[in-house]
Amino acid sequence: MKFKRKFREELTINITPLIDVVFLLLIFFMVTTTFNRETRLLVTLPEADTALAKNLPNRIEIVVARDGSYTINGRALINNRLETLMRGLELESGGDRSLPILLIADAESTHQAVVTAMDGIGQSGFTRLNIATQRPQQVEPLRTDPN
């Protein structure tokens, strides 16, 4: 008697290679992707709440106005160029580079105007720089020197 036995094999799908490929793709995208975090900051110059400093005769005071124009010890410069600012510092200091400089910026002046003033101060050879802001009620129109 012949007995025929039918063995039926169970069909299975081996998913190990599929998982390997998915993990390789995941690692590839993680390594090649760059994440940029862009932030925007609103920067405003602080308003001074302390008492006004007394005018010291042995310092140079540079005021950066709202429109980006400069005054040195109350004298308005004819333009906003770096060379003009440096020449004004040279004339006002009389060649004494050890004088302290007080840079006063209007709260609404542009950042570029303040950086230009700081650049001119540094290129002129001054090393003592103090930065201050003006109170909004103290902002005055520029005075022109008749001389």
Q: What is the CATH number of the domain that holds 67?
A: 3.30.420.270
Q: Does position 75 have pLDDT exceeding 50, yes or no?
A: yes
CB within 8 A of 119, min separation 6: which ones?
Answer: 82
- Asked, for residue 51, whether it belongs to a domain, the answer is no
Q: Does position 50 have pLDDT exceeding 70, yes or no?
A: no
Counting the structural domains of the chain, the total is 1
- The whole-number average pLDDT for the span 79-104 is 87
Instruction: Give the model's pLDDT for residue 7.
Output: 67
Sorting pLDDT into bands at 50, 70 and 90, what band is 18? very high
- Asked, for residue 128, whether it belongs to a domain, the answer is yes
Instruction: Give the model's pLDDT for residue 13.
Output: 84
- Asked, for residue 147, whether it belongs to a domain, the answer is no
User: Can you state the percent helix, strand and coil of the chain, rounding each to 5?
Assistant: 30, 15, 55
- Asked, for residue 18, whether it belongs to a domain, the answer is no
- Asked, for residue 106, whether it belongs to a domain, the answer is yes
- Asked, for residue 120, whether it belongs to a domain, the answer is yes
Query: Under a CB-based contact definition with an 8 Å cutoff, are residues 89 and 99 in contact?
Result: no
Instruction: Give the model's pLDDT for residue 48.
Output: 52
- Asked, for residue 125, whether it belongs to a domain, the answer is yes
Tokens 């025929």 sit at which residue? 4
Sorting pLDDT into bands at 50, 70 and 90, what band is 34? confident
Full domain range(s) for residue 118: 60-138
What percent of the chain has pLDDT above 70?
Answer: 71
Distance between CA 70 and CA 9 in Å, rounded?
A: 92
- Asked, for residue 46, whether it belongs to a domain, the answer is no
